[in-house]
Structure formats: C-alpha cells, structure tokens
Amino acid sequence: MIDENFKEGDEHARTAKALYLTDKQGAEKEARKALEEYNKAHQRDPANPTYYIKVGELLLGTGRPQEALEQFNKALEIKPDSASYHKARGMALNELGRYQEALEELDKAVSINPRYADAFCKRSLVLKNLGRLNEALSSINSAIQYLPRHAGLEVFLAHYYETKAGILMAIGNFNEALSVLDEAERISPSNKRGYDTRRLMRANLLNLSGRYQEALDEFTSLLKINPGNAFFHYGKAIALEKLGNYRLAKTEIENACQLDPTNELFKAARERINSESSS
C-alpha cells in the first residue's frame, strides 16, 4: 500500500515539476496532490527515509531548495551512508549557490559509490559553477564511462553528452562541443517540432564557431516554434550581423530588446549593430 501511495504521488510530482516554469498555479495544485499521497505513506511508515527524499525532490523541482535541503537532511539522519541521499543534498546546496558545500556532498556520494554515474554528472555541474572547468570535464567523462549501457537509458546518456558539451562550450572548445552534441543527437534524437536545451546550445555554438548561416537557419527554425523568445531573436541577430545583413539584424535585435528591455547583452548588441549599419 505504501508503494502505491508513493507511486501515485510520483505521478503528481512529475506533473508539478513539468508545469513549474509555465504554470505555477497548476504546479502548486499537483504538488499538493503529491504531498497528500506521500503523507499517506509516511503515516503508515514514519521511519522510512524515502518519504523525505520524495518530498525534497518535489520541493527542489518546484523552486523551493531551502525546504528541500531540510527534507534531505532528515533523510540523511536516518540513512547517512546513502550515496543517492548525499547527491540529493548536494543538488539542493547547488541551487542555493552554496557550491563548495555542494561539491563536498557529491564527493561523499562518489566515495560511497565510486561508479555512481549521476553523482559524477551532478558533480561536474557544481565544478562548472565553481569555475573548475577541467575538473568538471573529467567528472562528466566519468559519468559517461560509468552509466550502464542498458536499453532505456539512452536519454540519460544523451543528457550527459549535453552536459559535456556545455562544459566544453565554457572552456571555449566550440567545435568539440558541437561534435559532442552530434553524439547526443545520435544516441537520443531531439524533437524537431519542439525546442530544448540541446537545440538552443547547438544554435549558439554554431554562432560561436563561425558557422553563421547554419546558426541563422537554426534560430529561424526555433523562432517558428516560439516567436516570443528574446534569446532566439538575439541569436538570429548575431548571425545576421556576422553575415553582414545589418538591416535584418537591426530588426531582430529590436525584437529581442522589446521582449527583454533590461537585458544589458541585448542593449550592447543593439548599439553595436546600429553603429555598424551606419558606417
């Protein structure tokens, strides 16, 4: 019965996390339903630390990292030798900007389980936040190495490659990052009718690699899906600028500035493009 309550709660929790960025009210409604189910399980077995982990993950996924941290602390009081619980606590600390503490928790996770792929992946994100990019690259390579190659895990492997591409992008290895994204696409193709972090990262990398026509094509495609995304207009403006089409670049950067008037990056690009077009 407890497992059934957790299972039902997990369904509502997944929906709450999916809705969080686009429908806060809907996310809160689903989160309440998830908590109701989790509480039923907790009442039957109050010593089970799974309750605290599931509640913490729900809170973390709906923008409440401090409360999530408190739940993970309770879980670790019951089961201090759990690698996955240390990983969860590390991610809450990361969301709170407490990167060094987050790294210490993730180090504990991989010391308990030296082949814990997802802990190595999360550790790479924290190291990236700390600016320790070469260590971040080493950590994500370990994640890729240790992830089992079982059917159904392809989406996780592709995510790890995306993470690696982001680190390479931060290092400045743009061409290698593009190759890694191509590998992610080969492993688990993205939805061409939608957009995700992989498509946006690829479009940005095409600009950074000097492949401006390809970047223009990708941002144009992304804008057909979501014409109200200021960063898509900005990326398209940069591609047009580099291709020497200042007239259209001005239009796109104005669109970006209208959608996000306080963005300093957009304002600097508008000033530069306007100057280039008048010279």
Q: What is the pLDDT of residue 81?
A: 97
Helices (H), the chain: 2-19, 24-44, 50-61, 65-78, 83-95, 99-112, 117-129, 133-146, 154-171, 174-187, 197-208, 212-225, 230-242, 246-259, 264-278
Q: What is the pLDDT of residue 3?
A: 76
Q: What is the pLDDT of residue 194?
A: 54
Q: What is the pLDDT of residue 107?
A: 99
The answer to whether the beta carbons of residues 102 and 91 sit under 8 Å apart is: yes
Ordered structural domains, the chain, with CATH: 1-80 (1.25.40.10), 190-279 (1.25.40.10)
Q: What is the pLDDT of residue 23?
A: 92
Phi-psi sector, 132: left (phi>0), alpha (psi -120 to 50), beta: beta
Using alpha carbons, select from 171, 253, 235, 159 the residue that is nearest to residue 197. Answer: 159
The answer to whether the beta carbons of residues 273 and 246 sit under 8 Å apart is: yes
- Per-residue pLDDT of the chain (279 residues), as tens digits, is 457 899 999 999 999 999 998 899 999 999 999 999 999 999 999 999 999 999 999 999 999 999 999 999 999 999 999 999 999 999 999 999 999 999 999 999 999 999 999 999 999 999 999 999 999 999 999 999 999 999 889 999 999 999 999 999 999 999 999 999 999 999 998 765 555 788 999 999 999 999 999 999 999 999 999 999 999 999 999 999 999 999 999 999 999 999 999 999 999 999 999 998 887
